[in-house]
């Protein structure tokens, strides 16, 4: 079992996918509205300030491919400004896709929505109907930061294989900045990020019949200067053991279970990664503080 494999390594790890059950998705929505979590707000401000310019660069009759399903305000803003010939949301959850496609259909009755149920970190086939359209990948929110750099490059290579030569990618990337600002974003005063992190244990208790004592773990998030990423952990408050899938896992007091990395990129670092995947920069949009950048990349 994947979870047991991660708990058997040193340091122990847990895939960030365990954040996202219904409760975790609700907590993530709350994170995006926190004062400290500047990422979503800043990216939205870029859409608001530059949408006309973004739409002009993307051109007409494009096929917009969203990596992850489009419930967010961002895709709606983009769909209003760009009016693509087709919109292809790609998500692993069919239920999510169907719900969002229905909601979008209500608001954009003329939009051709062609959902693809797939793990977007792997290669997937596009619907035949979009074969002749210019393809534009859309990956907002700095979700690229949750891959390690080689994983991010591999993902961008897959996007390149999907959008092809002359295709494009619009991607939001969080930038390196003061450690205090970064660490605050993942250690909010209300404890929403802590609840989000701890919820992965609640999720595993339910899904895998485990018995994590959630009250005996605490949230830790700190910036790793060497790696250039925020790292999140769940730290054991005491010596304890947990039963999971017939196995017993021991935690020493203060031992950390690693749950997430969130990489931050200087523009030159990100563009080097993109170049390795066959993409060149067309243009970018940044906020006045240079905290977050939206890049428009074109496939070589």
> CB of 39: closest distance to ligand AVI in angstroms?
6
Q: Which of the 8 DSSP states describes residue 280? A: E
> CB of 53: closest distance to ligand AVI in angstroms?
24
Tokens of 65: 């491919």
> Residue numbers of the site for ligand AVI (CB under 6 A)?
31, 39, 141-143, 145-146, 186, 193, 260, 262
Is 178 buried (19+), middle (13-18) or exposed (0-12) by CB count in 10 A? Answer: exposed
> CB of 32: closest distance to ligand AVI in angstroms?
8
Q: Based on CB atoms, which residue is closest to ligand AVI, 67 or 285?
A: 67
Residues whose CB falls within 8 Å of the CB of residue 78, separated by 6 or more in sequence, listed in order = 47, 51, 54, 64, 138, 170
Q: Based on CB atoms, which residue is closest to ligand AVI, 135 or 203?
A: 203
Q: Based on CB atoms, which residue is closest to ligand AVI, 134 or 262?
A: 262
Residues whose CB falls within 8 Å of the CB of residue 284, separated by 6 or more in sequence, listed in order = 267, 293, 294, 295, 296
Q: Based on CB atoms, which residue is closest to ligand AVI, 92 or 111?
A: 92
Helix (H, G, I), strand (E, B) or coil at 145: helix
> What Å distances lie between residue 172 and 198, 211, 215, CA to CA?
27, 38, 35
> CB of 262: closest distance to ligand AVI in angstroms?
3
> CB of 229: closest distance to ligand AVI in angstroms?
9
Q: Based on CB atoms, which residue is closest to ligand AVI, 115 or 145?
A: 145
């Amino acid at each position: 079992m994947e979870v047991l494999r991660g708990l058997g390594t040193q340091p122990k790890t847990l895939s960030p996918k365990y954040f996202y059950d219904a409760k975790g998705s609700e907590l993530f929505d709350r994170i995006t509205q926190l004062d400290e979590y500047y990422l979503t707000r800043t990216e939205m401000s870029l859409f608001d300030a530059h949408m006309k310019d973004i739409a002009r660069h993307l051109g007409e009759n494009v096929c917009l491919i969203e990596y992850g399903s489009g419930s967010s305000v961002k895709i709606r803003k983009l769909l209003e400004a760009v009016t693509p010939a087709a919109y292809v949301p790609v998500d692993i959850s069919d239920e999510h896709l169907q719900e969002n496609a229905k909601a979008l259909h209500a608001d954009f009755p003329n939009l051709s929505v062609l959902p693809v149920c797939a793990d977007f970190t792997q290669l997937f086939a596009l619907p035949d109907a979009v074969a002749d359209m210019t393809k534009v990948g859309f990956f907002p929110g700095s979700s690229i930061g949750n891959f390690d750099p080689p994983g991010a490059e591999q993902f961008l290579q897959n996007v390149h294989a999907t959008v092809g030569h002359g295709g494009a990618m619009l991607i939001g990337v969080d930038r390196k900045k003061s450690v205090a600002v970064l660490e605050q974003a993942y250690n909010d005063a209300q404890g929403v990020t802590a609840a989000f992190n701890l919820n992965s244990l609640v999720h595993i208790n339910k899904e895998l019949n485990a018995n994590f004592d959630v009250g005996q773990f605490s949230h830790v998030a700190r910036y790793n200067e060497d790696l250039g990423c925020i790292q999140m952990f769940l730290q054991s408050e005491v010596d304890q053991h947990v039963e999971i899938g017939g196995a017993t896992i021991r935690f020493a007091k203060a031992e950390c279970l690693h749950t997430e990395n969130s990489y931050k990129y200087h523009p030159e670092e990100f563009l080097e990664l993109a170049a390795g995947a066959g993409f060149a920069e067309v243009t970018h949009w940044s906020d006045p503080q240079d905290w977050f950048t939206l890049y428009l990349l074109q496939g070589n």
